[in-house]
Amino acid sequence: MWISVAVEFFPLDAPSQPFRPLGGLDRSYPDFWSYSNRDYGNRIGIYRIMRVLEDLGLRATAAVNAAVARRFPRLIAELVRRDWEIAAHGLDMGRVHHDALAAGDERAMIEETRDTLTQASGVAVKGWYSPGRGESLNTVSLLCEGGFEYVADWANDDLPYTMKADARTICAMPLAHELADRVLLVHHNRTVEDYERQVLEAFRVLRTEAERCGGRVLSLLLSPWVIGYPHRIAALERILACIMKSDAVWPATGIAIAGAYKRAAIDNVQPSQRQSY
């Protein structure tokens, strides 16, 4: 089980082009309502998630915008104190990656994000989540160049796999888009009960498949401004408590899972074996 918590800053004046990430401010400027709703996540919601995970003895990967490190240094200190993994999540949620970016400009964005978060946390940052999962044709190559070990933009597997960029490789980590709280509760407008049921159903199926043909990754992407509200946080607690009753679960950070994948040389397994459900 890989828990990812999106720790993001949505600028009030974020451009609408080339696209706004899911959750981006979409009302007329200045959209104080949406801005303050997102800001709630970093001021209040994230700490509820921390308490739930701490009570269950769990760690997460925090996908952090560089702007958060500058604006909320105390929050970064709390993440480090709890030994969460810090992964890079771009400069902010208004600076998406896309193919109109010059390679030099995108390289500078990636390096600034990496260096800002490494300096703020005191830990080398090895994981990358693009804002809005947007990439250019150069993104993966630039991530390899920048020393990143995994990227979480590709949602096309239940296991990690190796991506090649020129002469380098990087691990593609399976971050499930369909199980994200933002997708189910905001985009699809499902109830908290629906969210809880769907996550646990995914866990049941993946556990059964893992027993039959090897490990699977259950990835849960959490948004503090969504699941961190008081009327939703109990659902997260129930979900994780139920999952942790199973003795078939290894709760791990992204970098730990990527390391285990590399050690097991899963990329040498034939596709027919990997996909025999």
* Domains located in the chain, CATH noted: 2-274 (3.20.20.370)
10 Å Cβ neighbour count for 197? Answer: 14
Type of residue at 234? A
Question: Which 3 state secondary structure label does DSSP give 172?
Answer: strand
Q: How far is CA 226 from CA 7, 86, 203, 209, in A?
A: 12, 20, 21, 30
Sign of CA dihedral 184, 187, 189, 192: positive
Model confidence over 20-39: pLDDT tens digits?
A: 888 888 888 999 999 999 99
Distance CA 46, CA 66 (A): 17
Distance CA 143, CA 165 (A): 9
Q: How confident is the model at residue 271 (pLDDT cuts 50, 70, 90)?
A: very low
Model confidence over 185-244: pLDDT tens digits?
A: 999 999 999 999 999 999 999 999 999 988 999 999 999 999 999 999 999 999 999 999
Distance CA 115, CA 158 (A): 30
Reported pTM: 0.93
Between 213 and 55, whose confidence is greater? 55
